[in-house]
Structure 1
């Protein structure tokens, strides 16, 4: 398990050199264990922020241990996480949207099992992640994450 974490961290560091933002998609509800693995991988980088999308209304479990992330451990459906490489102030959205929209410097991480592109990223299989540059319209991505994910998954796989 330690070797896999080291490999995943190295891949994340390679991606960090290319782009200040990383996007993670997951099409089904994550288990608590998967969330812990994901948080441990992303949050070990000093000074980094695991960005949490905003929701309308009050979140269930918000005051309980685990907070925002814990609620997704019990839910199903597409989940979109924007992971910021450098630490940002609380008003991240207002600062991020204009710059990311014009620079188009987002990357999508997706799972690939052998030659088949899959819409479920299992953290244990994260060693097989590849980076792909995507989306010309950031707003479409944010407001329609499932449609954007389907669009990416239907793209042909490029042979290296």
Structure 2
């Protein structure tokens, strides 16, 4: 592992975290807007609202991470897009499970609705953020050309 790769790890985490702040604003903002406009305690509705909010945040994440955090290895290839979608679905599952699980726990503890939904959402974002970073770093935007030198030509073909 070269010096650039060692230095890039902490920088990537910092960049990803900064973008994560914008994602958090989009995610929690969209969820709160939906809950304000259409208040609900139903699990299906909460899952739908959380999924919409997460989808907006993950779209924001993809755009910013392609241009900033993983710009050296983001090729925009079909493979990267497909793996990004797969990691997004896994992270969405984590996000929904944590959100619904902690929402139910906080409800059982008698935490007021707005506080409990936002605490649950914060924990869900933290869990999916962490999973997403590692999946993007090691699967989505992994630089296969650097690791497998013979793959440069096939990657160029995918991009065309």
Structure with more helix by fraction: 2
RCO higher in 1 or 2 (8 Å CA, sep ≥ 6)? Answer: 1
Structure with more strand by fraction: 1
Bigger Rg over Cα: 2
Q: Which category of TM-score, normalised to the shorter sequence, fits these structures?
A: under 0.3
